[in-house]
Amino acid sequence: MTAVQSRAESTITVHNPATGAVSGTVPIDEPETVAAKAAQLVAAQPEWEALGPTGRKRWMLEWQGWILDNADRITEVLISETGKSHVDASLEAVATADAIAYWATHAKEFLADRHPKAHSPIYRVKRFTTAYRPYPLVGVITPWNFPFAMPGLDVPPALAAGAAVLLKPSEVTPLSAVEFVRGWAEIGAPPVLGLTTGYGETGQAVIEHADFLQFTGSTATGRKVAVACAQRLIPYGLELGGKDPAIVLADADLDRAANGIAWGGLFNSGQVCVSVERVYVEAPVYDEFVAKLAARVGEVQQGQDGDTGAMATEAQRDIVARHVDEATAAGARVVTGGKPTGVGTYFAPTVIADVDSSMTCMTEETFGPTLPVIKVADENEAIRLANDSPYGLSATVWTADKRRGERLARRLEVGAVNVNDALVNVFCPGLPMGGWKESGIGYRAGGASGIIKYCRQQAITTPRLPTQKSELLWYPSSKRRMAMTLAVMRAFAARGRRRFGLRPRNG
Protein backbone atom coordinates (compact mmCIF):
# COMPACT_ATOMS: atom_id res chain seq x y z
CA MET A 1 0.00 0.00 0.00
CA THR A 2 1.13 3.57 -0.58
CA ALA A 3 -0.04 7.00 0.46
CA VAL A 4 -3.41 7.88 -1.02
CA GLN A 5 -5.18 11.19 -1.30
CA SER A 6 -8.58 11.85 0.20
CA ARG A 7 -9.74 14.65 -2.08
CA ALA A 8 -12.88 15.33 -0.05
CA GLU A 9 -10.84 16.07 3.06
CA SER A 10 -7.67 17.28 1.29
CA THR A 11 -5.52 14.84 3.22
CA ILE A 12 -2.99 12.12 2.54
CA THR A 13 -3.64 8.79 4.24
CA VAL A 14 -0.46 6.85 4.91
CA HIS A 15 -0.39 3.04 5.04
CA ASN A 16 2.21 0.60 6.34
CA PRO A 17 3.44 -1.13 3.17
CA ALA A 18 4.23 -4.32 5.08
CA THR A 19 0.75 -4.76 6.53
CA GLY A 20 -1.59 -2.35 4.75
CA ALA A 21 -2.65 -0.82 8.07
CA VAL A 22 -3.42 2.90 8.20
CA SER A 23 -0.55 4.74 9.90
CA GLY A 24 -1.85 8.29 9.89
CA THR A 25 -2.85 11.28 7.82
CA VAL A 26 -1.40 14.67 6.91
CA PRO A 27 -2.95 17.68 5.16
CA ILE A 28 -2.31 18.60 1.55
CA ASP A 29 -1.04 22.17 1.64
CA GLU A 30 -2.21 24.37 -1.18
CA PRO A 31 0.25 26.90 -2.69
CA GLU A 32 -1.32 29.71 -0.66
CA THR A 33 -0.69 27.76 2.54
CA VAL A 34 2.93 27.19 1.56
CA ALA A 35 3.31 30.90 0.84
CA ALA A 36 1.94 31.81 4.26
CA LYS A 37 4.26 29.36 6.04
CA ALA A 38 7.24 30.66 4.08
CA ALA A 39 6.39 34.25 5.02
CA GLN A 40 6.19 33.37 8.72
CA LEU A 41 9.57 31.64 8.59
CA VAL A 42 11.23 34.53 6.77
CA ALA A 43 9.82 36.97 9.33
CA ALA A 44 11.39 34.97 12.19
CA GLN A 45 14.73 34.38 10.48
CA PRO A 46 16.54 37.68 11.28
CA GLU A 47 16.30 37.11 15.03
CA TRP A 48 17.52 33.54 14.56
CA GLU A 49 20.50 34.77 12.56
CA ALA A 50 21.21 37.44 15.17
CA LEU A 51 21.63 34.79 17.87
CA GLY A 52 24.91 33.83 16.24
CA PRO A 53 26.38 30.31 16.16
CA THR A 54 26.67 30.10 19.94
CA GLY A 55 23.08 31.12 20.56
CA ARG A 56 21.81 28.75 17.89
CA LYS A 57 23.93 25.94 19.33
CA ARG A 58 21.92 26.02 22.56
CA TRP A 59 18.63 25.35 20.76
CA MET A 60 20.08 22.75 18.43
CA LEU A 61 21.56 20.71 21.26
CA GLU A 62 18.27 20.90 23.14
CA TRP A 63 16.57 19.62 20.00
CA GLN A 64 19.13 16.82 19.79
CA GLY A 65 18.27 15.85 23.35
CA TRP A 66 14.55 15.74 22.49
CA ILE A 67 15.26 13.41 19.55
CA LEU A 68 17.30 11.04 21.70
CA ASP A 69 14.67 11.07 24.44
CA ASN A 70 11.96 10.26 21.87
CA ALA A 71 14.01 7.87 19.73
CA ASP A 72 11.78 4.88 20.47
CA ARG A 73 8.63 6.69 19.36
CA ILE A 74 10.37 8.03 16.24
CA THR A 75 11.45 4.50 15.38
CA GLU A 76 7.91 3.20 15.68
CA VAL A 77 6.60 5.98 13.43
CA LEU A 78 9.28 5.14 10.88
CA ILE A 79 8.30 1.47 10.92
CA SER A 80 4.62 2.31 10.61
CA GLU A 81 4.99 4.27 7.37
CA THR A 82 7.93 2.52 5.68
CA GLY A 83 7.72 -1.13 6.66
CA LYS A 84 11.36 -1.00 7.78
CA SER A 85 12.80 -3.50 10.20
CA HIS A 86 13.38 -2.25 13.71
CA VAL A 87 17.13 -2.55 13.14
CA ASP A 88 17.10 -0.30 10.09
CA ALA A 89 14.62 2.20 11.52
CA SER A 90 16.39 2.60 14.87
CA LEU A 91 19.48 4.08 13.22
CA GLU A 92 17.73 7.18 11.93
CA ALA A 93 17.09 9.10 15.14
CA VAL A 94 20.56 8.43 16.55
CA ALA A 95 22.31 9.28 13.28
CA THR A 96 20.33 12.53 13.11
CA ALA A 97 21.28 13.39 16.68
CA ASP A 98 24.92 12.83 15.80
CA ALA A 99 24.64 15.16 12.79
CA ILE A 100 22.95 17.89 14.86
CA ALA A 101 25.77 17.79 17.39
CA TYR A 102 28.37 18.08 14.64
CA TRP A 103 26.86 21.15 12.98
CA ALA A 104 25.90 22.86 16.23
CA THR A 105 29.38 22.54 17.74
CA HIS A 106 31.34 23.40 14.58
CA ALA A 107 29.20 26.25 13.24
CA LYS A 108 31.15 29.01 15.02
CA GLU A 109 34.42 27.77 13.53
CA PHE A 110 33.00 27.15 10.06
CA LEU A 111 31.17 30.49 9.82
CA ALA A 112 34.01 32.64 11.12
CA ASP A 113 35.12 35.45 8.83
CA ARG A 114 38.00 34.52 6.55
CA HIS A 115 40.82 36.97 5.83
CA PRO A 116 42.53 35.93 2.59
CA LYS A 117 45.97 37.31 1.85
CA ALA A 118 46.45 39.77 -0.97
CA HIS A 119 47.55 38.03 -4.14
CA SER A 120 49.84 40.95 -5.04
CA PRO A 121 51.85 43.45 -2.98
CA ILE A 122 49.79 46.19 -4.61
CA TYR A 123 46.75 45.17 -2.55
CA ARG A 124 48.49 44.72 0.81
CA VAL A 125 47.26 48.16 1.75
CA LYS A 126 43.80 46.60 2.05
CA ARG A 127 42.35 44.21 4.60
CA PHE A 128 40.27 41.51 2.93
CA THR A 129 37.34 39.79 4.60
CA THR A 130 34.98 37.06 3.42
CA ALA A 131 31.81 37.07 5.52
CA TYR A 132 29.00 34.50 5.47
CA ARG A 133 25.34 35.47 5.64
CA PRO A 134 22.65 32.76 5.52
CA TYR A 135 20.01 32.54 2.85
CA PRO A 136 16.80 33.69 4.58
CA LEU A 137 14.77 30.60 3.65
CA VAL A 138 16.13 27.18 2.69
CA GLY A 139 13.68 24.75 1.15
CA VAL A 140 14.42 21.05 1.77
CA ILE A 141 12.57 18.38 -0.21
CA THR A 142 13.28 14.84 0.98
CA PRO A 143 12.52 11.31 -0.32
CA TRP A 144 10.71 8.38 1.19
CA ASN A 145 13.59 5.98 1.87
CA PHE A 146 14.92 7.70 5.04
CA PRO A 147 12.09 9.99 6.13
CA PHE A 148 13.77 11.06 9.38
CA ALA A 149 17.47 10.76 8.58
CA MET A 150 17.29 12.59 5.24
CA PRO A 151 15.97 15.78 6.86
CA GLY A 152 18.63 15.09 9.47
CA LEU A 153 21.33 15.43 6.83
CA ASP A 154 20.15 18.72 5.32
CA VAL A 155 18.16 20.69 7.89
CA PRO A 156 20.69 20.93 10.78
CA PRO A 157 23.50 22.63 8.81
CA ALA A 158 21.02 25.10 7.33
CA LEU A 159 19.70 25.97 10.81
CA ALA A 160 23.23 26.19 12.17
CA ALA A 161 24.06 28.62 9.38
CA GLY A 162 21.26 30.91 10.58
CA ALA A 163 18.71 30.18 7.87
CA ALA A 164 15.04 29.37 8.35
CA VAL A 165 14.00 26.03 6.83
CA LEU A 166 10.80 24.83 5.20
CA LEU A 167 10.76 21.03 4.99
CA LYS A 168 8.64 19.19 2.43
CA PRO A 169 8.79 15.37 2.86
CA SER A 170 7.70 12.75 0.35
CA GLU A 171 3.96 12.19 0.25
CA VAL A 172 4.71 8.49 0.75
CA THR A 173 6.31 8.92 4.18
CA PRO A 174 5.41 12.28 5.74
CA LEU A 175 4.75 11.12 9.31
CA SER A 176 8.41 10.98 10.37
CA ALA A 177 8.89 14.57 9.20
CA VAL A 178 5.98 15.54 11.44
CA GLU A 179 7.97 14.14 14.38
CA PHE A 180 11.14 15.85 13.14
CA VAL A 181 9.52 19.28 13.25
CA ARG A 182 7.43 18.48 16.35
CA GLY A 183 10.61 18.18 18.40
CA TRP A 184 11.75 21.66 17.39
CA ALA A 185 8.41 23.14 18.40
CA GLU A 186 8.14 21.24 21.68
CA ILE A 187 11.44 22.56 23.02
CA GLY A 188 10.15 26.09 22.39
CA ALA A 189 12.80 26.95 19.81
CA PRO A 190 12.41 30.05 17.62
CA PRO A 191 9.84 29.41 14.83
CA VAL A 192 12.34 28.97 12.01
CA LEU A 193 11.67 25.33 11.12
CA GLY A 194 8.43 24.64 9.30
CA LEU A 195 6.73 21.69 7.64
CA THR A 196 4.58 21.52 4.55
CA THR A 197 3.02 18.31 3.22
CA GLY A 198 1.46 17.40 -0.08
CA TYR A 199 2.24 16.33 -3.62
CA GLY A 200 4.15 17.89 -6.50
CA GLU A 201 2.22 21.16 -6.41
CA THR A 202 3.26 21.64 -2.80
CA GLY A 203 6.89 21.00 -3.66
CA GLN A 204 6.70 23.48 -6.53
CA ALA A 205 5.37 26.10 -4.11
CA VAL A 206 8.36 25.50 -1.83
CA ILE A 207 10.69 26.20 -4.75
CA GLU A 208 8.78 29.38 -5.54
CA HIS A 209 9.45 30.81 -2.07
CA ALA A 210 12.86 29.39 -1.13
CA ASP A 211 16.14 31.27 -1.45
CA PHE A 212 18.08 27.98 -1.66
CA LEU A 213 16.66 24.56 -2.48
CA GLN A 214 18.09 21.20 -1.43
CA PHE A 215 16.47 18.23 -3.15
CA THR A 216 17.05 14.50 -2.79
CA GLY A 217 15.25 12.11 -5.12
CA SER A 218 15.20 10.63 -8.59
CA THR A 219 17.24 11.98 -11.47
CA ALA A 220 14.08 12.58 -13.53
CA THR A 221 12.49 14.73 -10.83
CA GLY A 222 15.82 16.39 -10.09
CA ARG A 223 15.96 17.72 -13.65
CA LYS A 224 12.57 19.36 -13.19
CA VAL A 225 13.65 20.85 -9.87
CA ALA A 226 16.79 22.26 -11.49
CA VAL A 227 14.75 23.92 -14.24
CA ALA A 228 12.35 25.44 -11.70
CA CYS A 229 15.25 26.80 -9.62
CA ALA A 230 17.01 28.15 -12.71
CA GLN A 231 13.89 30.04 -13.71
CA ARG A 232 13.96 31.81 -10.34
CA LEU A 233 17.77 32.16 -10.37
CA ILE A 234 18.10 30.54 -6.95
CA PRO A 235 20.95 28.19 -6.05
CA TYR A 236 20.24 24.54 -5.38
CA GLY A 237 21.77 21.20 -4.48
CA LEU A 238 20.64 17.89 -5.93
CA GLU A 239 21.41 14.38 -4.73
CA LEU A 240 19.91 12.04 -7.28
CA GLY A 241 19.99 8.42 -8.42
CA GLY A 242 22.80 5.93 -8.07
CA LYS A 243 23.96 2.61 -9.47
CA ASP A 244 26.88 2.00 -7.19
CA PRO A 245 29.49 -0.57 -8.19
CA ALA A 246 31.52 -2.87 -5.96
CA ILE A 247 34.84 -4.24 -7.22
CA VAL A 248 36.14 -7.44 -5.63
CA LEU A 249 39.78 -8.16 -6.45
CA ALA A 250 41.33 -11.59 -6.30
CA ASP A 251 43.44 -10.70 -3.24
CA ALA A 252 40.44 -9.57 -1.19
CA ASP A 253 39.27 -11.15 2.05
CA LEU A 254 36.26 -12.80 0.43
CA ASP A 255 34.39 -13.37 3.67
CA ARG A 256 34.61 -9.69 4.59
CA ALA A 257 33.75 -8.67 1.03
CA ALA A 258 30.70 -10.94 0.97
CA ASN A 259 29.52 -9.67 4.36
CA GLY A 260 30.13 -6.03 3.49
CA ILE A 261 28.53 -6.17 0.06
CA ALA A 262 25.52 -8.05 1.43
CA TRP A 263 24.99 -5.31 4.00
CA GLY A 264 25.77 -2.51 1.55
CA GLY A 265 23.29 -3.91 -0.95
CA LEU A 266 20.48 -4.99 1.38
CA PHE A 267 20.46 -2.34 4.12
CA ASN A 268 17.00 -0.77 4.16
CA SER A 269 16.01 -3.40 1.59
CA GLY A 270 18.41 -1.84 -0.90
CA GLN A 271 16.47 1.43 -0.83
CA VAL A 272 19.53 3.60 -0.34
CA CYS A 273 20.94 6.02 -2.89
CA VAL A 274 24.39 4.56 -2.18
CA SER A 275 23.33 0.89 -2.12
CA VAL A 276 25.66 -1.57 -3.81
CA GLU A 277 23.79 -2.34 -7.04
CA ARG A 278 26.50 -3.85 -9.27
CA VAL A 279 29.28 -6.27 -8.32
CA TYR A 280 32.39 -6.93 -10.45
CA VAL A 281 34.58 -9.86 -9.36
CA GLU A 282 37.94 -10.91 -10.76
CA ALA A 283 37.72 -14.29 -12.52
CA PRO A 284 40.00 -16.36 -10.22
CA VAL A 285 37.69 -15.85 -7.22
CA TYR A 286 34.36 -15.36 -8.98
CA ASP A 287 32.77 -18.73 -8.20
CA GLU A 288 33.98 -18.75 -4.61
CA PHE A 289 32.77 -15.23 -4.01
CA VAL A 290 29.32 -15.85 -5.53
CA ALA A 291 28.91 -18.87 -3.27
CA LYS A 292 29.91 -16.90 -0.18
CA LEU A 293 27.69 -13.96 -1.11
CA ALA A 294 24.70 -16.20 -1.80
CA ALA A 295 25.18 -17.97 1.53
CA ARG A 296 25.35 -14.67 3.40
CA VAL A 297 22.35 -13.16 1.60
CA GLY A 298 20.36 -16.34 2.11
CA GLU A 299 20.77 -15.91 5.87
CA VAL A 300 19.26 -12.42 5.92
CA GLN A 301 16.00 -12.34 7.85
CA GLN A 302 13.13 -10.11 6.74
CA GLY A 303 10.44 -8.60 8.93
CA GLN A 304 9.99 -5.94 11.56
CA ASP A 305 12.15 -7.95 13.96
CA GLY A 306 14.54 -9.17 11.27
CA ASP A 307 17.55 -7.71 9.52
CA THR A 308 15.67 -5.74 6.88
CA GLY A 309 12.11 -4.82 6.03
CA ALA A 310 9.65 -4.28 3.21
CA MET A 311 9.82 -2.12 0.11
CA ALA A 312 8.31 1.30 0.71
CA THR A 313 5.89 1.08 -2.21
CA GLU A 314 4.31 -1.51 -4.45
CA ALA A 315 5.70 0.33 -7.47
CA GLN A 316 9.25 -0.06 -6.17
CA ARG A 317 8.73 -3.75 -5.50
CA ASP A 318 7.51 -4.16 -9.07
CA ILE A 319 10.63 -2.47 -10.47
CA VAL A 320 12.79 -4.93 -8.56
CA ALA A 321 10.75 -7.87 -9.87
CA ARG A 322 11.02 -6.59 -13.44
CA HIS A 323 14.79 -6.26 -13.25
CA VAL A 324 15.17 -9.79 -11.95
CA ASP A 325 12.75 -11.26 -14.49
CA GLU A 326 14.42 -9.46 -17.39
CA ALA A 327 17.83 -10.66 -16.27
CA THR A 328 16.79 -14.30 -16.04
CA ALA A 329 15.02 -14.08 -19.38
CA ALA A 330 18.31 -12.87 -20.89
CA GLY A 331 20.31 -15.77 -19.43
CA ALA A 332 21.24 -14.72 -15.91
CA ARG A 333 20.94 -17.16 -13.01
CA VAL A 334 19.21 -16.42 -9.69
CA VAL A 335 21.37 -17.99 -6.99
CA THR A 336 19.13 -17.06 -4.07
CA GLY A 337 15.88 -15.12 -3.69
CA GLY A 338 14.48 -13.61 -6.87
CA LYS A 339 10.77 -13.26 -6.04
CA PRO A 340 8.35 -11.22 -3.93
CA THR A 341 7.56 -13.12 -0.75
CA GLY A 342 3.80 -12.66 -1.14
CA VAL A 343 3.58 -10.68 2.10
CA GLY A 344 3.01 -6.94 1.75
CA THR A 345 5.72 -5.40 -0.37
CA TYR A 346 8.52 -7.70 0.74
CA PHE A 347 10.96 -8.91 -1.93
CA ALA A 348 13.35 -11.73 -1.08
CA PRO A 349 17.04 -10.73 -0.85
CA THR A 350 18.51 -11.77 -4.18
CA VAL A 351 21.84 -12.67 -5.76
CA ILE A 352 22.02 -12.94 -9.56
CA ALA A 353 25.01 -14.57 -11.29
CA ASP A 354 26.09 -14.81 -14.94
CA VAL A 355 24.94 -11.25 -15.55
CA ASP A 356 26.08 -9.09 -18.45
CA SER A 357 26.35 -5.31 -18.65
CA SER A 358 23.40 -4.84 -20.99
CA MET A 359 20.78 -6.12 -18.53
CA THR A 360 18.47 -3.61 -16.87
CA CYS A 361 19.57 -4.81 -13.45
CA MET A 362 22.98 -3.33 -14.39
CA THR A 363 21.93 -0.22 -16.30
CA GLU A 364 18.87 1.12 -14.44
CA GLU A 365 18.63 2.09 -10.79
CA THR A 366 16.96 -0.86 -9.04
CA PHE A 367 16.66 0.53 -5.51
CA GLY A 368 15.91 -2.86 -4.06
CA PRO A 369 17.44 -5.94 -2.40
CA THR A 370 19.27 -7.38 -5.43
CA LEU A 371 22.96 -8.02 -6.03
CA PRO A 372 23.84 -8.84 -9.67
CA VAL A 373 27.39 -10.15 -10.11
CA ILE A 374 29.65 -10.01 -13.20
CA LYS A 375 32.93 -11.86 -13.80
CA VAL A 376 35.81 -9.64 -15.01
CA ALA A 377 39.29 -10.47 -16.25
CA ASP A 378 41.17 -7.92 -14.17
CA GLU A 379 40.99 -4.58 -12.38
CA ASN A 380 41.11 -2.62 -15.63
CA GLU A 381 37.98 -4.30 -16.96
CA ALA A 382 36.30 -3.78 -13.60
CA ILE A 383 37.08 -0.06 -13.65
CA ARG A 384 35.94 0.30 -17.25
CA LEU A 385 32.60 -1.38 -16.59
CA ALA A 386 32.08 0.39 -13.28
CA ASN A 387 32.56 3.76 -14.99
CA ASP A 388 30.28 2.80 -17.89
CA SER A 389 27.18 4.29 -16.26
CA PRO A 390 25.33 7.60 -16.34
CA TYR A 391 25.44 7.54 -12.53
CA GLY A 392 28.36 8.37 -10.28
CA LEU A 393 27.35 8.49 -6.63
CA SER A 394 29.68 6.10 -4.80
CA ALA A 395 31.53 2.78 -5.05
CA THR A 396 33.40 0.20 -3.01
CA VAL A 397 36.70 -1.57 -3.64
CA TRP A 398 37.65 -4.78 -1.86
CA THR A 399 41.33 -5.74 -1.71
CA ALA A 400 44.03 -6.81 0.73
CA ASP A 401 46.25 -4.00 -0.57
CA LYS A 402 45.00 -0.66 0.80
CA ARG A 403 47.31 1.33 -1.47
CA ARG A 404 45.94 -0.53 -4.47
CA GLY A 405 42.43 0.19 -3.24
CA GLU A 406 43.12 3.92 -2.98
CA ARG A 407 44.75 3.91 -6.42
CA LEU A 408 41.68 2.30 -7.97
CA ALA A 409 39.41 4.66 -6.03
CA ARG A 410 40.98 7.59 -7.86
CA ARG A 411 40.12 5.99 -11.20
CA LEU A 412 36.43 5.60 -10.39
CA GLU A 413 34.06 8.32 -11.65
CA VAL A 414 32.06 8.68 -8.44
CA GLY A 415 31.71 11.13 -5.59
CA ALA A 416 32.84 8.70 -2.85
CA VAL A 417 34.72 5.40 -2.61
CA ASN A 418 34.87 3.13 0.43
CA VAL A 419 37.79 0.69 0.49
CA ASN A 420 36.89 -2.57 2.24
CA ASP A 421 33.69 -1.03 3.61
CA ALA A 422 30.29 0.22 2.46
CA LEU A 423 28.12 3.28 3.20
CA VAL A 424 30.51 4.51 5.90
CA ASN A 425 31.09 7.92 4.30
CA VAL A 426 27.38 8.76 4.73
CA PHE A 427 27.83 8.82 8.50
CA CYS A 428 30.85 11.16 8.41
CA PRO A 429 29.81 14.84 8.01
CA GLY A 430 33.40 15.92 7.63
CA LEU A 431 33.39 14.27 4.21
CA PRO A 432 31.57 15.70 1.17
CA MET A 433 28.64 13.66 -0.11
CA GLY A 434 27.60 14.29 -3.67
CA GLY A 435 27.20 12.65 -7.02
CA TRP A 436 29.02 13.00 -10.32
CA LYS A 437 27.37 12.77 -13.73
CA GLU A 438 23.60 12.20 -13.42
CA SER A 439 23.83 11.49 -9.70
CA GLY A 440 23.56 15.11 -8.71
CA ILE A 441 24.86 18.64 -8.51
CA GLY A 442 26.63 20.00 -5.46
CA TYR A 443 27.48 18.35 -2.17
CA ARG A 444 26.12 18.00 1.31
CA ALA A 445 28.32 17.84 4.41
CA GLY A 446 32.08 18.12 3.83
CA GLY A 447 32.97 20.09 6.95
CA ALA A 448 32.90 23.86 6.51
CA SER A 449 31.60 23.65 2.95
CA GLY A 450 28.51 21.80 4.19
CA ILE A 451 27.34 24.83 6.15
CA ILE A 452 28.73 27.55 3.88
CA LYS A 453 26.59 26.20 1.03
CA TYR A 454 23.60 27.64 2.88
CA CYS A 455 25.22 31.08 3.02
CA ARG A 456 25.71 34.03 0.72
CA GLN A 457 29.38 34.99 0.67
CA GLN A 458 30.20 38.67 1.02
CA ALA A 459 33.55 40.27 0.17
CA ILE A 460 34.59 43.27 2.28
CA THR A 461 37.67 45.43 1.75
CA THR A 462 38.87 48.04 4.23
CA PRO A 463 42.01 50.23 4.11
CA ARG A 464 44.98 49.37 6.29
CA LEU A 465 46.62 52.80 5.89
CA PRO A 466 45.27 56.30 6.42
CA THR A 467 43.11 57.18 3.42
CA GLN A 468 43.94 59.87 0.89
CA LYS A 469 41.56 62.15 -0.96
CA SER A 470 42.05 60.22 -4.19
CA GLU A 471 43.44 56.96 -5.63
CA LEU A 472 45.64 56.44 -8.66
CA LEU A 473 42.80 55.27 -10.93
CA TRP A 474 40.19 57.77 -9.77
CA TYR A 475 39.08 60.74 -11.87
CA PRO A 476 40.30 62.97 -13.26
CA SER A 477 42.25 60.49 -15.37
CA SER A 478 45.96 61.01 -15.90
CA LYS A 479 48.18 59.33 -18.48
CA ARG A 480 51.10 59.64 -16.10
CA ARG A 481 49.30 57.99 -13.19
CA MET A 482 47.88 55.28 -15.47
CA ALA A 483 51.33 54.53 -16.92
CA MET A 484 52.78 54.30 -13.43
CA THR A 485 49.96 52.04 -12.22
CA LEU A 486 50.27 49.69 -15.19
CA ALA A 487 54.03 49.51 -14.79
CA VAL A 488 53.67 48.48 -11.14
CA MET A 489 50.98 45.90 -11.96
CA ARG A 490 53.12 44.45 -14.75
CA ALA A 491 56.16 44.29 -12.51
CA PHE A 492 54.36 42.15 -9.95
CA ALA A 493 52.30 40.03 -12.39
CA ALA A 494 54.71 39.20 -15.22
CA ARG A 495 57.91 37.16 -15.36
CA GLY A 496 61.36 37.80 -16.76
CA ARG A 497 61.82 40.63 -19.27
CA ARG A 498 58.05 41.11 -19.57
CA ARG A 499 58.06 42.64 -16.09
CA PHE A 500 59.78 45.66 -17.60
CA GLY A 501 57.66 45.84 -20.76
CA LEU A 502 60.30 44.04 -22.86
CA ARG A 503 59.75 41.10 -25.19
CA PRO A 504 61.56 37.87 -24.35
CA ARG A 505 64.73 37.17 -26.30
CA ASN A 506 64.35 34.82 -29.28
CA GLY A 507 65.46 31.28 -28.61
Given this model, what pLDDT does residue 79 score? 98
Question: Residue 148 in contact with residue 180, Cβ under 8 Å?
Answer: yes
Tell me whether strands 370-376 and 391-392 are parallel, antiparallel or unpaired.
unpaired
Radius of gyration of the chain (CA): 27
* Ordered DSSP codes for 173-204: S-HHHHHHHHHHHHTT--S-EEE---SHHHHH
pLDDT of amino acid 4: 55
- For residue 124, what is the DSSP state? T
CA distance 180 to 191: 14
Beta-carbon-side half-sphere exposure of residue 246 (alpha carbons within 13 Å):
31
CA nearest neighbour of 56 among 156, 151, 132: 156
Q: Strands, DSSP E only, in 19-83?
A: 22-27
pLDDT at 500: 87
Nearest partner of 310 among 143, 88, 147, 82, judged by Cα = 82
CA–CA dist 379, 251 (Å, integer): 11
Q: What does the pLDDT read at residue 84?
A: 98
Pairing of strands 432-433, 444-445: antiparallel
Q: Side chain identity at 246, as an amino acid letter?
A: A
Length of the chain: 507
Q: Which of the residues are catalytic?
A: 239
- What backbone torsions phi and psi does residue 471 show, to the nearest 5 degrees? -115, 165
On whether the CB atoms of residues 211 and 204 are closer than 8 A, the answer is no
| Nearest residue to 209 (alpha-carbon basis) of 35, 422, 63, 392 | 35
pLDDT along the chain (507 residues), means of 10: 55 97 98 98 98 98 98 98 98 98 98 97 95 98 98 98 98 98 98 98 98 97 98 98 98 98 98 98 98 98 97 97 98 98 97 97 98 98 98 98 98 98 97 98 97 98 93 90 91 91 78
Q: How many CB atoms lie within 10 A of CB 62?
A: 17
